[in-house]
Chains A and B, each alone.
Chain A
Amino acid sequence: DAGVIQSPRHEVTEMGQEVTLRCKPISGHNSLFWYRQTMMRGLELLIYFNNNVPIDDSGMPEDRFSAKMPNASFSTLKIQPSEPRDSAVYFCASSRLGWGDTEAFFGQGTRLTVV
C-alpha cells in the first residue's frame, strides 16, 4: 500500500480564497483523522470520521472549516474563506480501529500558507 496520500503537499493562497485539502486513506482503514499542526498549538485533532461518518468535529475551529468523506477512499478538508491564521501543516491519518489497539498512519501533510 502507498500509505496515506495527501494533496497538495504545499499550498499558498491569498486571504479570502477557498482552499481544499485532499486525503486518500489506506485501503481497509475505517477511521480517518484530520489534524492541524502549528508551533503555537502543536497537534490538534480537527475532525474524526468512522466508516465515513463524522463522529467528532468539535476540533474544527470555525464554520469556515468543513470536512467531508464521501466514500471510504477519499476525504476533503475545506477552508472558505481562508485567513492568514489558518497557515499550518494539515495532516490526515487513518487507522483500522481508531486508536484502540492499532496505530494510525499519517500522510506527509499539506503545508498551507495564507498570505
Chain B
Amino acid sequence: AQSVTQPDIHITVSEGASLELRCNYSYGATPYLFWYVQSPGQGLQLLLKYFSGDTLVQGIKGFEAEFKRSQSSFNLRKPSVHWSDAAEYFCAVVYSNYQLIWGAGTKLIIKP
C-alpha cells in the first residue's frame, strides 16, 4: 500500500545549524512529491515539489530537497535555520490527480 513516513515527530535544532527532515515513501509509480510547511495557526504552504527532472529541488525560504529513487526518500534540507523556521513540516506524495498521501508531520523546534 502507498504510504509516506516521516520518522521524526519532533526535531530540535539550534538557530544557525543545518537541518535535515526525513521522508520516505512507498509508491509503485514515479512519484510526485511535495513538502509543505504549516506555521502555528496557519494553513499549509508549499515549500517545494518534485515531478521530474533534476533530483535536487530548490524551494522557498532557502529549503531544498533531494529525490533518491533507490532509497525511496525525499529529504528536506536547509543549511542554516532561522527562528522563523519553527513550524510543522509535511511530506506528501500524489496518489491520484486529487489524492495526496500525507506524512504525519515533523515539528521543528529552534533553540536560540
The reply to whether the CB of B34 lies closer than 8 angstroms to some CB of chain A is yes
The reply to whether the CB of B83 lies closer than 8 angstroms to some CB of chain A is no
The reply to whether the CB of A115 lies closer than 8 angstroms to some CB of chain B is no
| Cα-based distance from A56 to B97 in the complex (angstroms) | 12
* Count of chain B residues near A, Cβ 8 A: 21
| Cα-based distance from A43 to B92 in the complex (angstroms) | 11
The bracket for how many chain A residues form the interface is 20 to 34
Binds B, one of A65-73, A80-88, A105-113: A105-113
Residue in A closest to B32 when the chains form the complex, CB atoms: A99
Q: Contact at A99–B100, with CB atoms within 8 Å? A: yes
Binds A, one of B12-20, B39-47, B67-75: B39-47
| Cα-based distance from A34 to B41 in the complex (angstroms) | 17
Interface string of A72-111 (1 = CB under 8 A from B): 0000000000000000000101000111110111111100
Q: Contact at A91–B43, with CB atoms within 8 Å? A: yes
Please list the residues of chain A having a beta carbon within 8 angstroms of any beta carbon in chain B.
4, 31, 33, 42-43, 45, 48, 50, 55-56, 91, 93, 97-101, 103-109
